[in-house]
């Protein structure tokens, strides 16, 4: 399957690191781009595929099995297939597909499709400062960040850094940097590949 006429950007990273903000800003700036958010593929709360954390009486929303990644992958393939074939006589500019999600690179079929991969990081302290003022549906239960969110993030980070094929292609960005600075850095790289 050729994705030559489509530039696929993957934006991943720790919770509350600015992934959605970056993805939305790029989508606004890049005319005709398409955006897909991994959060739109969470399983319903009562889905039996969820892993329950008994001591918190709460689903573990921080792992791949809490998201229908296969459905997301099929939706990406539909977008790829809907792209017009390259026309040699008419130089058509590439379309941009922006994928955003905290576990994006943990799912190999999607990770392998990305031409550019960005991963936003934060310290535990900064992450908690941002997370505690966010509202989630369902809401975080007391202790969820320390018992589940942060440990699962560290496991995920270890997994992608051990995968040499994926790791060497990921650009890690400190999510506490100025949002405009991050945006311009990523946009510049995308524009280079589009020109």
List active site positions: 39
CA-to-CA separations, 23 to 100, 128, 130, 168, in angstroms, rounded: 7, 22, 18, 22
Q: How far apart are CA 61 and CA 49, in angstroms?
A: 11
What are the helix (H) ranges across 30-113? 69-81, 108-111
Report helix, strand or coil for 121.
Answer: strand
Q: How far apart are CA 43 and CA 61, in angstroms?
A: 9
Bond before 138 cis per omega within 30 degrees: yes
Q: How far apart are CA 143 and CA 140, in angstroms?
A: 8
If one counts every other C-beta atom within 10 angstroms of the C-beta of residue 90, the result is 7
Q: How far apart are CA 61 and CA 67, in angstroms?
A: 8
User: In degrees rounded to 5, what are phi and psi of residue 101?
Assistant: 175, 150
């Amino acid at each position: 399957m050729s994705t030559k006429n489509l530039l696929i950007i993957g934006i991943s990273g720790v919770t509350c690191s600015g992934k959605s903000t970056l993805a939305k800003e790029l989508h606004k700036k890049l005319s005709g781009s398409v955006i897909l958010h991994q959060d739109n593929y969470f399983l319903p709360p009562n889905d039996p595929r969820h892993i329950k954390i008994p001591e918190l009486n709460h689903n573990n929303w921080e792992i791949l099995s809490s998201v229908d990644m296969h459905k997301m992958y099929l939706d990406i393939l539909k977008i790829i297939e809907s792209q017009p074939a390259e026309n040699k006589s008419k130089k058509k500019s590439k379309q941009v597909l922006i994928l955003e999600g905290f576990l994006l690179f943990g799912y190999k079929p999607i990770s392998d499709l990305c031409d550019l991969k960005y991963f936003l990081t934060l310290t535990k302290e900064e992450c908690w400062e941002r997370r505690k003022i966010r509202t989630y549906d369902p809401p975080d239960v007391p202790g969820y960040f320390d018992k589940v969110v942060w440990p699962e993030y560290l496991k995920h980070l270890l997994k992608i850094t051990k995968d040499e094929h994926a790791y060497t292609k990921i650009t890690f960005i400190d999510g506490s940097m100025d949002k405009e600075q991050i945006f311009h850095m990523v946009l510049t790289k995308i524009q280079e590949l589009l020109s």
